[in-house]
Amino acid sequence: MGGYAGQILYVNLTSGAIEKKPLDMDFARKHIGGLGFGATIYLDLIKNHPVDFDPLSELNPFVLMTGPLTGMKMNGVARWTVCSKSPLTGFYGDSNVGGFFGAQLKFAGYDGIVITGKAAVPSYLYINDDIVEIRTAEPYWGKDVYTVTDALKEDLKEGQKSGQALVIGPAGERMVKFASIINNKGHAAGRTGMGAVWGSKQLKAIYVNGTGKIKIAKPEALDELRAELKELYADSIGIMALHSAGTATHMDVGIIGGDIPIKNWQQTEWDDIDDIGPTVIEEKIFAGHKTCFGCGVACKKSAEVKEGPFQMEKGPGPEYETIATFGSMCLNSNIESIAKANEICNRYGMDTITCGSTIAFAIECFENGLITEKDTDGLRLTWGNSDAIVKMTEKIGKQEGFGAILSLGSAKAADHIGGIARDFLTTVKGLEAPMHDPRSAHGYGLAYAVSPRGACHEASLTFEAEGGLIFIPEIPELSADLPEGSEDRAQLNVACQDYGMFFSNCAIFCNLGGSPLNATQAIDMVNHVTGFDYTLDEILKIGRRLWYLKRGLTNLFGARAKDDRLPNRLMTVLEAGPTEGSVPDMDRMLAEFYELRGFNAEGVPEKQILESVGLPELAGLLHL
Amino acid sequence: MGMFKTTEEFEKVIVGFFQLVGNTPIIADKLLESKMVIRFTYTDPDLVVVVDCAGEKTEVRPHDTETKAVVEMTMSSDIAHRFWFGMVNLTKALTRKEMVAKGPIPKVLKLLPAIKPSYAMYPQYLDANGFGQYNITKAYTPPTA
């Protein structure tokens, strides 16, 4: 067998107990890896306790898992996953991230880490191959992500070789509800507030240094596949675009069809959009290409602002989602300020989608007189006020003044502000929607509505399939030429969930770097690395089971049909622009989806459905 | 059979539009800055058009198969037609090879902001030049005798 490191690390921060458990290969075969492992282990840890525990209490486990491909020197496979109960939504939360940490963890001999309990004092986990210790984080507590990343690497390096640091910033320590966990300063497990879970456990960082290697079960077959893929990648226009300008390319492409939310989702056209597009980025802030472990796509870009009010040292640059949330959403056409806001989010450790969206929401509250400069500590939160946007970002990280209110996320901030503030929300299940407008592609609307973690374009492959980035000829729904509108979007979503759980949740392909692959190539890669003999039918069954597991966890934490709705803001008909007159037919899509997935009227999968996909324990918990 | 029945008809429409775009300063200035020479090879009906931005003004040359182009783009006339309405999902068209592009793709993508105004121009151009039957943004009313 290959692909796996062969052990899972269990760390109890309360007792200090550290246990290394061998990875059961039957378990590996059944769940593949990533969230297939993570969500299964998570359910196992909470199933015997009341489920209404506080996500910020020691009762909330945290699970970090790599996949069988993590650590391979190939395009689009550097990723790994985390899951826990989300402090932002109160439901199941997870996040998927690239960078270098996952590879290094496997080289140290571990496929994942399960963390329970809460440390008595600020701590970090030190892993150096077989040596695993819980150490005091006193010297690092209170310091930002960049400082701690550099310090850990310097303090713990052996000779010239440094390991990888996974770190929370001051936002995580203060339990900002959308705090992230960050590797190498810019690779963020951002969505759903996993950094706050670490903060509640007083876990500042995990440092890992590994010297081992991962075995490949069928190296010759993998080499042949690599040769085939080399040509595929060389011819892929999507990959060329990502390599050249990164995800910011979408600023130029997405605007054509009305995909980019502008002015807190009130419009899809804006004269200043090119001021935050890839050409201006290259002229004003671009400072080099970056990548994840082993990936030649290199879609990450560095940024630097050499002078002016938004000066920042060279570091990770803003990606598309960040450019849109802090830019078009706020009518902010100053790209340097967006780079600065991104840097603040990275240093404090905050999700840029929730942070930027929450500021756009607050601007609309300000413009409508629901809050004033008295509330905002003197900041004029007006459309396009780049200075105020950057200052408010920092206040959120510090939980200072009005920043403390916004650090709860927009949904809870709306409850605090009152009045018509909720009309300006863009959340599903408490998670702010990403920067892709369902009025331009109706299937996104259903994807956001039923995603277990809340509004998310990467919770399945609907964004990639309906948006056109992937083409999977082996799966009819993922290669069909769908008519415009809401027709057949329920079937599309089901197929995108089942295949997506395999692709980007279990095998953990990158949805961007892995986009040229068809299903045969993706499955072959997993088989050649692991030595398993998965078929398309089998991986779809595994994917389906994981999707029901994640949905069931969210149901277990209280989500019901009423939580599967899009906010009014995303359902408002626009009177101009590419999406003029178009809104998703949510009633139709939800009814079809519930039927296909075997949900009852409450939005809970029927008991026999859960049993039939191999989740009898979950069925028992949901249907007492 | 696509929307255009003959090469001649498609040529009149697309070449005329490229000339209009090439003479519209807000777009043309940026095209000329790029120095790009693009050959469009259309199918159903077949037509080759070179848009040459390497000189002092944009030149549009139908049937030019000789010029060495920087970028070669191949697509059906229907895809081309829908593209100029802003109705083509570019990502999907490229992924599914409905549009095939060869050459320095990032440079081509950088032209997207420059040509944005042309999406609004195309239906107006069709209506103003007797090609109203191809304007798919409105119900077509045939001209009365």
Q: Which residues of B touch A (CB under 8 A)?
A: 86, 89-96, 101, 105-106, 109-110, 112-113, 116, 119
For residues B29 and B26, what is the distance between their CA atoms, to the nearest angstrom? Answer: 6
For residues B62 and A611, what is the distance between their CA atoms, to the nearest angstrom? Answer: 64
Pair B44, B77: CB distance under 8 Å = yes
Query: In A, which residues are within 8 Å of B91 by CB distance?
Result: 238, 253, 467-469
Query: In A, which residues are within 8 Å of B95 by CB distance?
Result: 237-238, 468-471, 515
Could B106 and A241 be called an inter-chain contact, meaning their C-beta atoms sit closer than 8 Å? yes
Could A468 and B109 be called an inter-chain contact, meaning their C-beta atoms sit closer than 8 Å? no
Is the confidence at residue B144, as pLDDT, over 60?
Answer: no
Pair A189, A94: CB distance under 8 Å = no
pTM: 0.96
Would strands A7-12 and A112-116 be described as parallel, antiparallel, or unpaired? parallel
For B132, phi then psi, to 5°, come to -55, -25
The conformation of residue A504, written as its DSSP 8-state character, comes to I
Please give the single-letter amino acid code of residue A261: P
CA atoms within 13 A on the CB side of A29: 9
Angle separating helix axes A442-450 and A489-500, nearest 10 degrees: 50
User: pLDDT class for B56, splitting at 50, 70, 90?
Assistant: very high
| Closest chain A residue by Cα to residue B83 | A256
Query: Which of A252, A471, A578 lies nearest to residue B112, judging by beta carbons?
Result: A252
Whether domain A237-257+262-425 has CATH 1.10.569.10: yes
Helix (H, G, I), strand (E, B) or coil at A64: strand
Residue-level pLDDT at B145: 42
Would strands B59-62 and A80-85 be described as parallel, antiparallel, or unpaired? unpaired
For residues A133 and A209, what is the distance between their CA atoms, to the nearest angstrom? Answer: 13
Nearest chain B Cα distance for residue A583, angstroms = 17
Is the confidence at residue B41, as pLDDT, over 80?
Answer: yes
Residue of B27, B33, B95, B100 best to disrupt the A interface, most CBs of A under 10 A: B95
For residues A80 and A99, what is the distance between their CA atoms, to the nearest angstrom? Answer: 9
Class of A7-209 per CATH? Answer: alpha beta
For residues A441 and A497, what is the distance between their CA atoms, to the nearest angstrom? Answer: 17
User: Which residue do the tokens 């009149």 mark?
Assistant: B12
For residues A602 and A427, what is the distance between their CA atoms, to the nearest angstrom? Answer: 20
User: Which domains occur in chain B, in start order?
Assistant: 7-129 (3.30.1050.10)
Residue of B31, B72, B90, B91 best to disrupt the A interface, most CBs of A under 10 A: B91
User: Tens digit of pLDDT for each residue in B64-102?
Assistant: 999 999 999 999 999 999 999 999 999 999 999 999 999
User: pLDDT class for B138, splitting at 50, 70, 90?
Assistant: low
User: Which residue do the tokens 């509505």 mark?
Assistant: A449
Query: In B, which residues are within 8 Å of A245 by CB distance?
Result: 106, 109
| Closest chain A residue by Cα to residue B87 | A257
- In what helix (H) or strand (E) does residue B101 lie, and over which residues does it extend? strand B99-102
What is the CA A282 to chain-centroid distance, rounded? 26
Q: Where are chain A's structural domains? A: 7-209, 237-257+262-425, 442-622
User: Which residue do the tokens 């607050």 mark?
Assistant: A362
- Count Cβ atoms below 10 Å from residue A271 Cβ, excluding itself: 7
User: Which residue do the tokens 């980007």 mark?
Assistant: A504
Is the confidence at residue B140, as pLDDT, over 60?
Answer: no
Residue of B74, B112, B116 best to disrupt the A interface, most CBs of A under 10 A: B112
Residue-level pLDDT at B139: 54
* CATH code for the part of the protein at A442-622: 1.10.599.10
For residues A364 and A406, what is the distance between their CA atoms, to the nearest angstrom? Answer: 13
The H-assigned helical ranges of B41-87 are: 77-83
The H-assigned helical ranges of A98-218 are: 101-107, 145-156, 170-173, 194-200
Nearest chain A Cα distance for residue B55, angstroms = 22
Pair A198, A60: CB distance under 8 Å = no
Interior CA angle at A339 toward A337 and A344, to 5°?
90
For residues A324 and A328, what is the distance between their CA atoms, to the nearest angstrom? Answer: 5
As a whole number of angstroms, the longest Cα–Cα distance in chain B is 49
Query: In B, which residues are within 8 Å of A256 by CB distance?
Result: 86, 90, 112, 116, 119
Could B91 and A238 be called an inter-chain contact, meaning their C-beta atoms sit closer than 8 Å? yes
- CA distance readout (Å), A286 to A146, A300, B53: 19, 11, 27
The H-assigned helical ranges of A120-159 are: 145-156
Residue-level pLDDT at A158: 87
- Count Cβ atoms below 10 Å from residue A355 Cβ, excluding itself: 33
Pair A395, A442: CB distance under 8 Å = no
For residues A432 and A70, what is the distance between their CA atoms, to the nearest angstrom? Answer: 29
Query: In A, which residues are within 8 Å of B85 by CB distance?
Result: none
Pair A263, A270: CB distance under 8 Å = yes
A56: tokens are 């910020």
In CATH terms, are A7-209 and A442-622 the same topology? no
Nearest chain A Cα distance for residue B120, angstroms = 11
Averaged pLDDT of chain B: 92
Please give the single-letter amino acid code of residue A23: L
For residues A310 and A390, what is the distance between their CA atoms, to the nearest angstrom? Answer: 8
Flag whether the ipTM exceeds 0.85.
yes
For residues A41 and A83, what is the distance between their CA atoms, to the nearest angstrom? Answer: 10
Interior CA angle at A123 toward A119 and A128, to 5°?
120
| Closest chain B residue by Cα to residue A482 | B92
- CA distance readout (Å), A80 to A180, A351, A516: 14, 17, 20
Residue-level pLDDT at A566: 98
The conformation of residue B133, written as its DSSP 8-state character, comes to G
Please give the single-letter amino acid code of residue A345: C
Write out residues in chain A with pLDDT < 50, as ranges. Answer: none
Could B101 and A278 be called an inter-chain contact, meaning their C-beta atoms sit closer than 8 Å? no
- CA distance readout (Å), B69 to A339, A410, B32, B104: 37, 51, 15, 11
